[in-house]
Amino acid sequence: MDLKETEISTKEAFHGGFINLHVETVMLPNGKTASRELVDHRPAAAAICINDEKKMLLVTQWREAIKQLTLEIPAGMIDASDVSPLDAMKRELNEEGGLKAEYWEKVAEFYTSPGFSNEKLHLFYCDTLSPVANKLDLDEDEFLTAEWYSLEELKNLLTEGKIVDAKTIYAISVWENMLLTGSEG
């Protein structure tokens, strides 16, 4: 059975600064039609940042959509001025951690929530970190703190339900696997 849906029409419902919402009418595999509410979202980059003490950098910030503070790996949207996802991540590491990395490796790229959004996230691993000479300022509407966590601390935070961000949960899993297989940096 062909599972593909075919777009019949689309209507923009909202046009924003970094997301757009549109409603599509689609033809289903059985010939019936349905509506799909879809979010167009700019791509983003995130990083598993590991220091010399084998700790991962996480930032704490308020997320209004869920009305709570979250612990997340450094991440941010890819701007038009960024040449590549890695350039965006280097900028974000500077802004959010005041750091630069000598070693970078692309780990994965994935869609954050393909049921309703086309946001693609590019995930990197970095280590060999050092402070930057000229730290970039956070965006004017961005407030966060940064802290380092060991794998054991991260696993405890996961068990306690204190890390709820999917990209961060995935990043912790990837880092643990890298440590187990000896493929870290």
Tokens at 20, concatenated: 């757009």
CA distances in angstroms from 121 to 2, 82, 105, 162, listed in the order given: 28, 15, 14, 22
Phi, psi of 40 (to 5 degrees): -90, 125
Active-site position among 140, 152, 176, 184: 140
Short-list 43, 42, 39, 44, CA closest to 14: 39
Phi, psi of 120 (to 5 degrees): -105, 135
24 classed as catalytic: no
Residue type (1 letter), 154: L
CA gap 50, 43 in Å, rounded = 23
**Secondary structure of residue 170 in the 3-state scheme:** helix
Tokens at 166, concatenated: 């999917």
Residue type (1 letter), 178: M
Catalytic residues, which ones? 140
